[in-house]
Amino acid sequence: MPVCPAILPRPQEFGPGYPDKALPIAKYCKEKLVNLDYVPVDINKVFLEIASQEISKFTNSITPIQAPFAECSNKIPDGFKKDTLVMIGLTFMNFPSGIIIPLMKKIGGKKARALIASEIIKPKSNITSILQRYELPEARGVAFGPLKALGVSPTDVDYKVHFNNSRVEMCFTLRRSLELPKKLAAGSQIVTAVSYRYTEDELRRSIEPYFANCDFHWANDRNTVVAILS
């Protein structure tokens, strides 16, 4: 992604993982002697620590917040709600755009810019090849996490990946009835993870109602886009 000179000095990053989108911004701000207040938000403590450690090479002002995105607003210091860039990267694909974009706007304040990233499908893309990645045992293992936390055994479920409602759905079907804690009958289907896929037109239609300016930066193969929105 080319570093945008108009980037604002208060990135609030949702789900940074390894903060590959924030790093070029942090580097740019350090070179230009712009003070940067970095606010990573993640439910996972390990990812928060990784993001904070990487960005600490470029700024000392880091405010990690361990919370679900929907509950982080009141934990962000008021002074950090000005000149803000709210970033979510590819984690954008895990939420309906109509939920996550208004949340990003609410958290960043009225004048916030937003950065999202998404894989893009062509109108006649081969969905089967997209699903294959999610059928791998590693992907099944990640998707099984919430059921494992509820005490479900891997032998109690069958796993299948579907493409429904413009999204990949990672779905488990119960082989026998279980108390989770509500009783669910054998054959019940539980979707534990989703990943939305848009064509370029669909992505534009999903974000344009919320922003006057949508600046798209494409990967060379045009399969992935980073958009800076204001």
Residues 101, 116: Cα–Cα separation, whole Å: 9
SS3 of residue 16 by DSSP: coil
139 makes contact with ligand SAM (CB under 6 A): no
16 makes contact with ligand SAM (CB under 6 A): yes
Measured at the alpha carbon of residue 104, what is the angle toward residues 103 and 109, in degrees to the nearest 5?
A: 105
Q: Using DSSP bridges, classify how beta strands 84-89 and 113-119 pair: parallel, antiparallel or unpaired.
A: parallel
- CB of 68 vs ligand SAM, minimal distance in Å: 4
* 42 versus 54: smaller Cβ distance to ligand SAM: 42
- CB of 89 vs ligand SAM, minimal distance in Å: 2
Piece of the chain touching ligand SAM by CB under 6 A; list 52-60, 87-95, 167-175, 211-219:
87-95
- CB of 48 vs ligand SAM, minimal distance in Å: 8
**Length of the chain (residues):** 230
Among positions 1, 3, 17, 188, the unique one binding ligand SAM when judged by CB under 6 A: 17
Residues 144, 132: Cα–Cα separation, whole Å: 17
Size of the site for ligand SAM (CB under 6 A): 14
What residues have CB less than 8 Å from 26, skipping those under 6 apart? 11, 36, 38, 55, 57, 58, 59
89 makes contact with ligand SAM (CB under 6 A): yes
Q: Is the dihedral of CA 113, 123, 90, 166 positive or negative?
A: positive
Chain-centroid distance, C-alpha 78: 24
* 178 versus 229: smaller Cβ distance to ligand SAM: 229
If one counts every other C-beta atom within 10 angstroms of the C-beta of residue 74, the result is: 8
- CB of 25 vs ligand SAM, minimal distance in Å: 13
24 makes contact with ligand SAM (CB under 6 A): no
174 within 8 A of 186, measured Cβ to Cβ = yes
Among positions 43, 152, 180, 184, the unique one binding ligand SAM when judged by CB under 6 A: 43
134 makes contact with ligand SAM (CB under 6 A): no
Binding residues (CB under 6 A) for ligand SAM: these are: 15-17, 20, 42-44, 47, 68-69, 89-91, 117
